[in-house]
């Protein structure tokens, strides 16, 4: 019987595109989306070496949101944010309208190796 062991750190990053209007003509310059106080749950009771990170604010650069140290974090994990902990700060002078941003989630340093 082989036992799978994570030999590298695993992390998830996220970034947001700029908030743009549906017609693409307006951008909410200076708008900042924040996700705080995430809650981690798992199908295991082992949380040693697993961390969630607040995104305050979330920008166009990759930001670390969740990670597990090497040989930690085995199992299925959920990271949730209550909607009351998600905020969007919009600077004064913004043009009224419908705007959208795309969040891109990326798994970095995917688990590898067997021992």
Q: What is the pLDDT of residues 29-47, one digit of tens each?
A: 989 999 888 888 877 766 6
CA pair distance 102, 29, nearest whole angstrom: 15
Domain ranges, ordered by start, for the chain? 10-108
Tens of pLDDT, residue by residue over 73-104, are: 777 778 888 889 899 999 999 989 999 999 99
Length in residues, the chain: 115
Are the CB atoms for 87 and 34 separated by under 8 Å? yes
pTM confidence score: 0.74
pLDDT at 78: 80
Q: What's the average model confidence in pLDDT over 48-58?
A: 83
Rg of the chain on CA atoms, in Å: 18
Alpha carbon 104 to its chain's center: 8
């Amino acid at each position: 019987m082989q036992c799978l062991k994570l030999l590298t750190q695993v992390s998830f990053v996220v970034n947001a595109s700029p908030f743009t209007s549906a017609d693409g003509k307006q951008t909410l310059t200076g708008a900042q989306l924040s996700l705080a106080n995430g809650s981690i749950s798992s199908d295991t009771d082992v949380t040693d070496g697993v961390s969630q990170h607040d995104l305050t604010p979330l920008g166009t650069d990759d930001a670390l949101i969740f990670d597990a140290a090497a040989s930690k974090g085995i199992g299925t994990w959920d990271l949730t944010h209550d909607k009351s902990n998600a905020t969007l700060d919009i600077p004064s002078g913004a043009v009224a309208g419908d705007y959208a941003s795309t969040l891109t989630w990326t798994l970095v340093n995917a688990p590898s190796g067997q021992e």
